[in-house]
């Protein structure tokens, strides 16, 4: 099972829209799960459940996605397909627009503390096998699942592309295609009204017995399906066939202006993902630092799921970038410490939020730390720090709320700060 590609139908759209190859996220490994290798809380009491991994999410599947699963003949999808057929035939949460998650599950999911910590929240389409478990509808998963990666090769740049650009685009297209299917199969107006109302309803204030027991209400089901009652699976399968026959540009036309705007943002994020250009000025970002036993430190930047290990000396060198251009910082670093930091390493630090582009260069004094060598960095010969010094760490750091900035707690002061006696604020 591939861990880095989109479902086949979405991959066809994206390749055409972006005009280039779909980026690979090789750091995300599902079998065996990379989060299971060292996932534990700081107090040693919290763990990712090995029988759920990250699949503690019940996706809402639109009509054509349900149809694509039901039309699938691959033997590896037999178990998930049987679960879906059971849900459709049970008349529970199946509407002409989508197959929804139960409201009780949604209530529990919205109030869960951590991802992957409870079997109760495991996806119903998750298949347990000898290889450690897998997604049963991998080639037909929705936008939320298809764009989620626990670790990104380009760090925050990859996160921005997938979660902030591609996910909204694919969600917009999926919803537009589901409504397009309703127009193509000519659902009667009275059933359309009930379908639209059911699509926008939230968690009910009180749960009827049918919702608690997850059993269908025949009267409500008939009001939704009308002439398609008893042929729900046939309806979904026909939606899947019609969407599969569309070209990517037909899909974009159906998506309308909203999808066109999201595509512009996705193309911008794609250009950033393909670029390795360094900005002129950078400065330290916000992150957390935790010591490791081998002289390195664990740095948690943009995501608790993707910590990296770096030599401790790199964190001490970040202050050289305050108030200087990148080239000036590298020259000062080489002159004062004998350390030569290669551009690829700076790009990695930017990708993971350890460094960020300085929007207001000149805010700090230009002569920070020029009165001698840094006493914390004792160097007797020229040293070159390469990008390979940054390593992805297996596992994750529990996603607990970040503490408020506290000047007395030195452990949360991840950003080296300049001596206030030698800093002047430049005029605007």
Which pLDDT tens digit goes with each residue over 379-411? 334 455 566 666 666 655 655 544 444 444 433
**What does the alpha-carbon distance between residue 282 and residue 321 come to, in Å, rounded to a whole number?**
6
- Given a contact cutoff of 8 angstroms between Cβ atoms, the answer to whether 351 and 154 are in contact is yes
Nearest partner of 314 among 283, 277, 346, judged by Cα: 346
- Given a contact cutoff of 8 angstroms between Cβ atoms, the answer to whether 5 and 11 are in contact is yes
**What does the alpha-carbon distance between residue 414 and residue 286 come to, in Å, rounded to a whole number?**
7
- Given a contact cutoff of 8 angstroms between Cβ atoms, the answer to whether 384 and 327 are in contact is no
Mean pLDDT in residue range 361-388? 43
Query: 3-state DSSP helix/strand/coil percent for the chain, to nearest 5?
Result: 45, 10, 45
**With 90 as the cut, is the pLDDT of residue 130 above it?**
no
Nearest partner of 125 among 73, 181, 169, 70, judged by Cα: 70
Highest mean pLDDT: which of 239-248, 276-285, 307-316?
Answer: 239-248
Tokens standing for residue 97: 């627009």
Q: Rg of the chain's alpha carbons, rounded to an integer?
A: 26
Number of Cβ within a 10 Å radius of residue 228? 19
Give bridge partners of residue 299 from the DSSP assignment.
289, 308
pLDDT band at 421 (very low <50, low <70, confident <90, very high): very low
What's the confidence (pLDDT) of residue 358?
86
Tokens standing for residue 305: 């799921």
Q: Is the peptide bond before 32 cis (omega within 30 degrees of 0)?
A: yes
**With 60 as the cut, is the pLDDT of residue 356 above it?**
yes
The secondary structure of residue 61, as a DSSP letter, is E
Tokens standing for residue 41: 């809380």
- Given a contact cutoff of 8 angstroms between Cβ atoms, the answer to whether 302 and 352 are in contact is yes
**What does the alpha-carbon distance between residue 289 and residue 303 come to, in Å, rounded to a whole number?**
13
**What does the alpha-carbon distance between residue 346 and residue 390 come to, in Å, rounded to a whole number?**
10
**What does the alpha-carbon distance between residue 169 and residue 257 come to, in Å, rounded to a whole number?**
11
Mean pLDDT in residue range 43-72? 82
Question: Which residues lie below 8 Å from residue 145, measured CB to CB, with a gap of 6+?
Answer: 57, 59, 135
**With 60 as the cut, is the pLDDT of residue 427 above it?**
no
Pick the more confident residue, 214 or 310.
310
* Cα-to-chain-centroid distance, residue 171: 14
- Given a contact cutoff of 8 angstroms between Cβ atoms, the answer to whether 163 and 147 are in contact is yes
Which of 124-138, 272-286, 331-345, 351-365 is predicted least confidently?
A: 351-365
**With 70 as the cut, is the pLDDT of residue 89 above it?**
yes
- Element containing residue 214 per DSSP (H, E): none
**With 70 as the cut, is the pLDDT of residue 85 above it?**
yes
Q: Each residue of 145-193: pLDDT tens digit?
A: 999 998 999 999 999 999 999 999 999 999 999 999 999 998 889 988 8
């Amino acid at each position: 099972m591939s861990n880095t590609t989109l479902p086949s139908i979405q991959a066809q759209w994206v390749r055409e829209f972006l005009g280039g190859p779909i980026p690979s996220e090789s750091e995300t490994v599902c079998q065996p799960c990379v989060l299971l290798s060292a996932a534990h809380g700081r107090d040693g009491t919290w763990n990712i459940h090995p029988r759920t991994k990250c699949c503690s999410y019940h996706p809402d599947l639109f009509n054509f996605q349900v149809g694509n699963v039901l039309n699938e003949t691959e033997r590896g999808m037999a178990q998930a397909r049987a679960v879906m057929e059971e849900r459709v035939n049970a008349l529970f949460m199946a509407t002409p627009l989508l197959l929804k998650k139960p409201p009780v599950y949604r209530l529990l999911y919205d109030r869960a503390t951590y991802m992957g910590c409870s079997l109760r929240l495991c996806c119903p389409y998750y298949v347990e096998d000898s290889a450690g478990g897998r997604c049963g509808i991998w080639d037909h998963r929705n936008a939320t699942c298809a764009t989620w990666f626990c670790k990104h090769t380009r760090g925050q740049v990859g996160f921005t592309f997938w979660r902030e650009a591609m996910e909204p685009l694919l969600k917009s297209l999926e919803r537009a295609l589901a409504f397009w299917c309703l127009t193509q199969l000519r659902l009667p107006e009275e059933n359309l009204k009930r379908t639209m109302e059911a699509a926008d309803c939230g968690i009910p204030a009180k749960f009827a017995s049918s919702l608690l027991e997850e059993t269908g209400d025949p009267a409500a089901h008939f009001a939704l399906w009308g002439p398609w009652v008893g042929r729900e699976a046939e309806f979904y399968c026909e939606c899947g066939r019609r969407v599969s026959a569309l070209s990517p540009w037909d899909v974009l036309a159906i998506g309308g202006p909203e999808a066109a705007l999201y595509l512009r943002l996705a193309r911008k994020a794609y250009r950033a993902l393909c670029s390795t250009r360094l900005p002129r000025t950078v400065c330290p970002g916000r992150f957390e630092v935790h010591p490791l036993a081998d002289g390195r430190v664990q740095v948690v930047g943009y995501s608790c799921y993707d910590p990296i290990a770096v030599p401790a000396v790199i964190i001490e060198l970040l202050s050289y970038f305050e108030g200087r251009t990148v080239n000036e910082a590298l020259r000062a670093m080489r002159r004062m410490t004998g350390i030569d930091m290669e551009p690829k390493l700076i790009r990695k630090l930017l990708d993971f939020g350890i460094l960020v582009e300085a929007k207001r260069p000149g805010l700090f004094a230009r002569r920070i730390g020029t009165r001698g060598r840094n006493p914390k960095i004792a160097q007797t010969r020229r040293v070159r720090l390469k990008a390979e010094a940054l390593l992805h760490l297996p596992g994750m750091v529990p996603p607990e709320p970040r503490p408020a900035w506290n000047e007395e707690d030195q452990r949360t002061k991840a950003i080296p700060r300049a001596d206030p006696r030698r800093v002047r604020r430049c005029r605007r």
